[in-house]
Structure 1
Amino acid sequence: MKKLFVKLGEEPTLSLFWNSILIGFLLLPISINPSTPFFVIAMLLGAFYSIKNKSKIDKKDLYFLCLPILWILLVISLIYTNNIKTGIDLITRMIPIAIFPLLLLYIRENEDVLRKLFTMLLIGILASMAINLFLALNNSLSIVESQLIFDASYEGGFSFYESFNHGGNHFFGTRFSNTIHPTYIALYILISLVYFGKNGIRFKYIVFAALLVYLFLLSSRAALMVLLSYAFLFIFYFGDMKKRIGLGLLALSAVILFIFLNPRTKTFYERIITFKEKKNYNYTTSEQSRILIYHTCMELIKKRPIMGYGIGDANDVLQEEYSANSYLTLAKNQYNAHSQFFQTFLQAGIIAFVILIVPIGLIFSKGLRNPYVLAAIIAIVILMGFESLLVRYNGIIFYAIIIPLLMRNDNEFLKNSLRQFQKL
């Protein structure tokens, strides 16, 4: 266990700072409640260390300030928010967006810290998979008239395969992730695949297979899109031309097969192409709901593009619009924007939206020279496009730490991964 933690010479505060983050990343995929105290401790220790040591900052890393500025703009939006309580709750939840980038301006990570951070995340992912498998099995077994019955369908009455399409299988989709929304687990898995694709680990292919199976069972369509983009990156970036064509086509074929083996992919396609044939939008599927949500967001943004509606009112105006248009399913479930880009625009307008995408653009520019960085930011952007990542703490804390690490001007992880890429 000692090998999983860091010890930085005569700097006990700094060691405790990073070790608190490591434990937080270990617990993050399992449940947010036990991980939160460790991130709070890390923020306090980091602030104490930075003030005590008066560390110097690299001015090229000042892009980190985009995240605290975004938080400040959201705080300012409270001025024109009617629903103050909701706004303050979300602002409080988003404090790591303001704190961690500031701390990482003064506290630099090294390759050993990053390796252990992702190792802890990987262990947490595998632990959460084991827990979810146990819970799914437990929920699927029952004793009827002294007989052990296995029925994995959530409502009963469906076969194991049929329940996939109906979204009610204990081993599949949202039912399989009991403590954390599957989108966040999918994000952790996708970033881990990028990191451990660069850095070898013991039993690498067994671990990769487990991660892909977990991703398949979570059934996040956005995550499957990311996998497809990974296959194309493999074709365009790795090895000489013959190696690219051979291994790239093999990777692409495997990913396409992986996607279309998913029974919900066919259902997703059928629901999308028949959307315009729908006469009554009162009741919609999850795929059709997103189309209506995004259309509603764009209409609302047109009305208040400069300042938005305020962080507390963004969801309220969405609910009002759903009701006005008789989108009963959306109103009943109180859906938010289901896209961080739309969510931020609705909350605080175009300036906040621009501040949100500046770090993403910077990382993309680095990614053009480094496929590992490009793969990581593609995963984050695609999932941000389909989920409001900065509404739940699972997304907030991960984003607040990973984005500055990817933006780092002089990062050992980026330098070493680029050297390995150039040797291919």
Structure 2
Amino acid sequence: MFRSLIQRRDKIYVGLIIIMIISFPLSFAINSITMFLFILFFFLDEKQNIINKLKQIAKNKLNILFVLFFLVQVIGLLYSEDLDFGLKRVAVMTPLFFLPAILSVEVILKRQFDFILYLTSCIIITIFMGYLFLHVVIDHRDINTFVHFTIEKKLGISQFYLIFLLLIPIMTMINSIRNNQNKTLNTSLLLVTIGISFLLGNKTMFVFVFLIWIMLIVISFKHKKRTGLIVLVLGLTLFTAVSQLSIVKQRIGVLVKTTDLDFETIKTKNSFTITKNTFEHRLLINNISLSEIIENLPFGVGTGDYQKTMQEQYEKLNFKAAQSTNLNCHNQYLSEFLKTGILGGGLFLLIMIVSYSKIKHEQRFYPYFLVFFSLACLVESFLVRQHGIVIFAFIIPLFLYNDNKD
């Protein structure tokens, strides 16, 4: 039995990866269980192979940084008052200790990786179309309330995490189109995915998709002018159509009409009412975070106390929107420096720097995922929830180690 399973390791590995990706928007429990099944899979091997893999892991600088980063979270518990909150944070971040390391040594063929990407892309699109059907047809709700009622209320998932997942079908379909594979079908799937992404109303995604579109126009024109014109026209048509969606109009309208440039004015109006301008919210939160980081150098406030520290400052400023929803730092870089000071913040930056140093010319996907994640970390604390840990410890390493094979 054991020997038979070892012979099927490649198929088991492909299956685990597929389950990890498609369970992301479906089931928190299945996603959690699958993460830890990778440990059993790692040891489902010949003894000598396991020893060799452990040696490879120990030589990988990025693996060491991930382990140290996790251990610093544990050290941060030692000077935390709120141990219950701190233990929850450490539990959520536990996959950082083993998942990137396992992905760095397990082998997968390019054709298997391409199969995984295309299959999961189609399933992801199907899942979101199913959620839209449920929202509009079954629940009889307006499409513009999709994020609020179906994504946030029913699924309990932040749009920030789902936007990252949607990058998989977006980049996969773009790559398939560039390789002249089922152009009509893949273009249709790409437009549907981009439409769903815009429907989620995430401003960071708007910027990123716009940059990808510009890049595609440049590449297409270099290859063939007609193709470049088609990409240009399709993009303009899509952006025009999306701009008419109520959720997009509302978010852009709030940003343009209610943003003040004077910091004292921002503080004052947010102390009188619960405002909806998330850009101003982030300015206030970042200011609070930076003040607390400087005050608590060099070790931070502790893994268990950083959210309590933020909440105390919200109350001092009477920052109503942050008080009512207990907002986190909304900046992963600042979160780490606030939690565990120079150690945690420095290690997180080192992980990002080393990850960037791994970019290679022949990689099709990894650079885009890494750039999007590093930019998104400026406006969101990704590692607060399991979905963010999956992105950081699984999706990005998966592309790092499998996106450069011949």
TM-score range, shorter chain: 0.7 to 0.9
Paired AA for residue 29 in structure 2: N
Give the Cα separation in 2 of the matches to 1:258 and 1:269. Answer: 20
Say how many residue pairs are matched.
381
CA displacement 1:206-239 (0-9 Å, x = unmatched): 2112211211211111111211221343356666
* Displacement of 1:381: 1.7
Alignment partner of 2:252 out of 262, 266, 277? 266
Cα 1:90–1:112 shift into 2, 3 Å = farther
Task: Give the % identical residues.
Answer: 18
Cα 1:170–1:52 shift into 2, 3 Å = farther
Unaligned runs of 5+ in 1: 1-7, 142-150, 153-159, 161-168, 417-424
Cα 1:14–1:275 shift into 2, 3 Å = same
Paired AA for residue 158 in structure 2: H
Partner in structure 1 of residue 269 of structure 2:
280
Give the Cα separation in 2 of the matches to 1:21 and 1:97. Answer: 16
TM-score normalised by structure 2 residue count: 0.82
Output aligned runs, 1:14-413, within 5 Å: 15-49=11-45, 53=49, 54-56=51-53, 57=56, 61-137=60-136, 140-141=139-140, 152=142, 169-171=144-146, 173-177=147-151, 178-179=154-155, 180-199=157-176, 202=182, 203-234=185-216, 240=222, 243=225, 253=236, 257=240, 260-261=243-244, 262-271=248-257, 273-274=259-260, 276=262, 277-278=265-266, 279-282=268-271, 283-287=274-278, 288-367=280-359, 369=361, 370=363, 372-408=365-401, 411=402, 413=403
Alignment partner of 2:404 out of 393, 414, 419? 414
TM-score normalised by structure 1 residue count: 0.79
CA displacement 1:26-79 (0-9 Å, x = unmatched): 221223223322222222222443866323427874323222221111111111
Unaligned runs of 5+ in 2: none
Cα 1:305–1:227 shift into 2, 3 Å = farther
Give the Cα separation in 2 of the matches to 1:363 and 1:258. Answer: 36
Report which of the two has the higher share of helix: 2
* Displacement of 1:17: 3.9
What SS is found at the alignment partner of 2:270?
coil
Paired AA for residue 129 in structure 2: A
Which is further off, 212-221 or 315-324?
Answer: 212-221
Paired AA for residue 296 in structure 2: R
Cα 1:266–1:29 shift into 2, 3 Å = same
- Contact 1:314–1:346 under 8 Å retained in 2: yes
Provide the alpha-carbon RMSD of the alignment.
Answer: 3.1
